[in-house]
Amino acid sequence: MRILIISLGGTIGMKRDNKLNAGIPASDANDFIATLKSHSNMDLDITTKSFCNLPSGSLDFEILSEVIVYAKKSVDSGINAIIITQGTDTIEESSFFFNLFWDREETIIFCGAMRMEGEFAYDGIWNLSSSIAVASNLQSKNRGVLVVVGDRIFSANWIKKIHSTFIDAFDAIHLEGILIENKPRFFALPLKRMTFPLPKQHKKIMFLEQNLGENNEILDFVDLFDGIIINGFGSGHISAKSMDKIKSLNIPIIVASRTAFGFSTKWTYGYKGSEIDLQNNGAIMSGILDARRARILLWCILGNDFDLSKFNEFEESIAIS
């Protein structure tokens, strides 16, 4: 089993600077392996690549696209599984981004940490050790991109960061599996996956959240964008004033639910600004995809010049029925 660990930065590789009395980037994949070897008897063929050392909010689609190209070349050269370490602030977005374009059977795992090295309860090396255990298990193949944190195995389609500081900061509507005594147990068989080529052009997507009393003046600048994601009230609704503004727009509009784990509906409400009204005026409901993932998917579809029907096709593909 040949495993590649790619480090991108984040808390998992940060240490507290004594002068600043604050965490700064310090460690990379090579340091992680050195620490692992000093604490375990792992006999694995592990190679490393320090791609960058950035807080995850400073990653972008260009960097992640370069990592995808590197990961595919690595698999073509004989790597059996890849683990990517990064900050947890955007790990749900990065892993989903990767999942859209990972068309191989080989396992890809993202992991991170909520505590810095040297702090009490540093979880970085434990999560990395768990990721190696999952990557080494053949049942992890053909599952797309996974995220392993806190002894739980998440699909990139569902994981959410639900707390900014708790060490147990992640949840999902569906768990792919768990680890017991550092051995993975999976709860479902792999689904057939829909993937895309990397876009050759970068499209600008507006991200707009509905809030009580909001006038949405930002829609006056919509000409600067190629598409809009609206994080709507309830099951995907907008205000009557917002509805008046978007009726005249001639760009793709996707509407999601701003609730933590809720979905957008299609045929429940019929008032002005409801999902039925939105669809009658050309909007697409995001269904079981949250707004952040809908944004990445729309960026992918528009960047490939694909028909918007690909959005619903993908959304339907990530569930059994």
Bridge partners (DSSP) of residue 148 are 153
3-state helix/strand/coil string of the chain: CEEEEEECCCHHHEEEECCCCEEEECCCHHHHHHHHHHHCCCCCEEEEEECCCCCHHHCCHHHHHHHHHHHHHHHHCCCCEEEEECCHHHHHHHHHHHHHHCCCCCEEEEECCCCCECCCCCCHHHHHHHHHHHHCCHHHCCCCEEEEECCEEEECCCCEECCCCCCCCEECCCCCEEEECCEEEECCCCCCCCCCCCCCCCCCEEEEECCCCCCCHHHHHHHHCCEEEEEEECCCECCHHHHHHHCCCCCCEEEEECCCCCCCCCCCCCCCCCHHHHHHCCCEECCCCCHHHHHHHHHHHHHCCCCCHHHHHHHHHCCCC
Place of tokens 């000409």: 223
Mean pLDDT, rounded, for 44-51: 93
Mean pLDDT, rounded, for 235-263: 95
Q: Is the CB of residue 155 less than 8 Å from the CB of residue 134?
A: no
Mean pLDDT, rounded, for 248-257: 96
Q: pLDDT exceeding 70 applies to what percent of the chain?
A: 99
Mean pLDDT, rounded, for 298-302: 99
Statement: residue 320 has pLDDT above 90: no
Mean pLDDT, rounded, for 16-31: 93
Mean pLDDT, rounded, for 264-283: 98
Statement: residue 214 has pLDDT above 90: no
Mean pLDDT, rounded, for 174-192: 95
Q: Six-digit token pair at 287?
A: 């269904």
Mean pLDDT, rounded, for 108-125: 96
Tell me how crowded residue 116 is: count the other CB atoms within 10 A of its CB. 21
pLDDT score at 43: 73
Mean pLDDT, rounded, for 246-263: 95
| Residues 121-135 pLDDT 10s | 999 999 999 999 999
pTM of the model: 0.96
Question: Which range is least confidently modeled, 199-203, 233-237, 244-248, 288-292?
Answer: 244-248
pLDDT score at 36: 86
Mean pLDDT, rounded, for 8-28: 95
| Residues 56-85 pLDDT 10s | 999 999 999 999 999 999 999 999 999 999
pLDDT score at 218: 87
Would you call 274 exposed, middle or buried from its count of C-beta atoms within 10 A (0-12, 13-18, 19+)?
buried
Mean pLDDT, rounded, for 220-245: 96
Q: Is the CB of residue 281 less than 8 Å from the CB of residue 252?
A: no
List Cβ neighbours of 133 (8 Å cut-off, separation of 6 or more).
Answer: 179, 182, 183, 184
**CA trace torsion 104, 160, 189, 143 (10° rounding):** 10
CA distances from 112 to 66, 97, 150 (A): 20, 16, 10
Question: Which range is least confidently modeled, 142-156, 215-229, 265-279?
Answer: 215-229
Whole-number average pLDDT of the chain: 96
Give residue 253's Cα distance to chain centre.
Answer: 21
Domains of the chain: 2-186 (3.40.50.1170), 205-317 (3.40.50.40)
Highest mean pLDDT (candidates 94-103, 219-228, 238-247): 94-103
